[in-house]
Amino acid sequence: MDREQTIKSAEAAFREIGVYGLSVWSVEGLTAAEIVLHARSHDTESQRYLPHAQIRASTAGQLRRCGFALEPDSPSGHYLLTIPAPPTDDDWDALEQEFGEPEPTPRR
């Protein structure tokens, strides 16, 4: 969650769909490693999910308690994490604080 890249991603979502948001995955009862495997089970030739070298984990409950909404998206387990508009430095700080330290993304 490099802040600069996170902001760019949220701004791209705003230009595309009119909402500041980030792509996240959440599947109740699965660990972060299991969620990576779940997400990658939806890979296609044109769409690769979670290609990043590192991930940071949180929970849907933590994010919601901080005022961030999670809107179900497609495929199953994929969500749009929405950020208040326009986002402030305090919003970015709060978001960063809700995620754990970076860890290597599990391999297939």
Residue 16's contacts (CB-CB under 8 Å, 6 or more residues apart) are none
Q: Output phi, psi for 71, to 5 deg.
A: -105, 125
| Distance of alpha carbon 1 from alpha carbon 54, whole angstroms | 9
Whole-model pTM: value is: 0.88
The angle subtended at Cα 94 by Cα 103 and Cα 5, nearest 5°, is: 55
Give tens-digit pLDDT for 50-108: 888 999 999 999 999 999 999 999 999 999 999 988 999 999 999 999 999 999 998 75
Give tens-digit pLDDT for 92-107: 999 999 999 999 998 7
Q: Which tokens sit at 58?
A: 């949180």
Tokens 């993304």 -> residue: 105
